[in-house]
Amino acid sequence: MRTELFAGCSSSVAAVAGAGEAVDLQAEYARSAVQAILDELERDLVGMQPVKTAIREIAAFLLIDRTRRKLGMTSEAPGLHMSFTGKPGTGKTTVALRMASILHRLGYIQKGHMIAASRTDLTGGRTGQVIDKAVGGVLFIDEAYYLHQAAGERDQTSEVIETLLQAMENRRGEFVVIVAGYKDRMARFFDANPGLASRIDNHVAFPDYTDEELFAIGALMLARQQYRLGAAAEEAFRRYIERCTRLTYFANARSIRNAIDEFRKRQANRLFARMGEPLAVVDLMTIEAADILASRIFKAYL
């Protein structure tokens, strides 16, 4: 039986046109222009090596699948729907946008756009309309577990999930679904909705940023807006991050972005109070330690 099985495989391989010819995978990769998207992801996302590795592995698999199909090889269509799990502010939306571009450049979706939808966007009979907008691209549903509600609201949310499952089956290849949220809540959501879970083939876990990575993210955000940290402000910012990460509502890069907005406001008010005094350009660029140490988080620790 084993010999017969492999004999059949050999026959199948021989049937592929040009089976003995070399394949220029580097040329296929260059034609896809996926490298530019992966480079953007590397540049825009500080740290997150496990996530970047997972996305590169998915891209490599799809590139090989595309190459095989070009040569007429038969295989099952790859599963494209995904689950991104992690806390807020870990880059899930950013990666979903890049994933849409990768899928488009490899020819798995026609347009490459992304439609972000919440429970509110999908309930009330609007699921079909949102899916129509997502056709040709990616439908990104953050905090997807809110689609599974208690008995009093189950009719609406069940309708959403049923409509979504039907579209994922009947309109296969027309759009890709990426669901996202906290890891533990997503696990319970999948347990309660096995039909959806069975259609999600790719799972990517987004870890929390380290304190050093958060500092680098903050410095990058400031530099992009032509701000800089004064010498004493660097230490104050590190202390701020150390305390901020202990808070239950801390949201990684999102919290750092909000903090920087507060620092900028304090800097502006500090400079405004010096009205009439000469200011240097560097003054307009510099966040000082006082702009950070005035944060409520330091008062809470007094």
Q: Any residues with CB less than 8 A from the CB of 72 and at least 6 apart, and which?
A: 16, 17
**What secondary structure letter does DSSP report for 68?**
H
Which of the following CATH numbers is that of domain 211-299: 1.10.150.80, 1.10.8.60, 2.40.128.30, 3.90.45.10? 1.10.8.60
Q: How far apart are CA 112 and CA 137, in angstroms?
A: 5
What pLDDT shows up at residue 20? 60
CA distances for 60 relative to 66, 106, 145, 228, angstroms: 10, 10, 30, 39
The identity of residue 259, as a single letter, is: A
Packed helices 252-272 and 231-244: angle between N→C axes, nearest 10 degrees: 140
- pLDDT 10s digits, 241-287: 999 999 988 999 999 999 999 999 999 999 999 988 999 999 999 99
What pLDDT shows up at residue 6? 39
What pLDDT shows up at residue 26? 87
Taking alpha carbons only, the member of 31, 83, 89 closest to residue 208 is 89
Q: Cα Rg for the chain, rounded, in angstroms? A: 25
Give me the DSSP letters along 252-291.
HHHHHHHHHHHHHHHHHHHHHTTTTS---HHHHHEEPHHH
Taking alpha carbons only, the member of 141, 150, 88, 93 closest to residue 118 is 141
CB-facing half-sphere around the CA of 174: CA atoms within 13 A: 13
CB 287 within 8 A of CB 227: yes
**What secondary structure letter does DSSP report for 17?**
T
CA distances for 42 relative to 75, 77, 172, 261, 272, angstroms: 31, 28, 30, 25, 38
Q: Which token pair is 105?
A: 């450049």
CB 266 within 8 A of CB 291: yes
Report, as ranges of residue numbers, the positions in the chain whose pLDDT lies below 70.
1-20, 149-157, 300-302
What pLDDT shows up at residue 29? 85
Sign of CA dihedral 281, 287, 289, 292: positive
What pLDDT shows up at residue 27? 86
Apex 133 CA angle, 131 and 138, nearest 5: 70
Taking alpha carbons only, the member of 281, 297, 283 closest to residue 237 is 297
Phi, psi (deg, nearest 5) at residue 240: -60, -45
**Positions of CATH 3.40.50.300 in the chain:** 22-205
**Positions of CATH 1.10.8.60 in the chain:** 211-299
CATH number of 22-205: 3.40.50.300
Secondary structure of residue 31 in the 3-state scheme: helix
What pLDDT shows up at residue 23? 80
CA distances for 176 relative to 23, 126, 161, 225, angstroms: 29, 18, 15, 34
Q: Which token pair is 15?
A: 């049937």
- Sheet with strand 114-117: strands edge to edge: 114-117, 138-142, 176-181, 82-85, 202-205
What pLDDT shows up at residue 16? 55
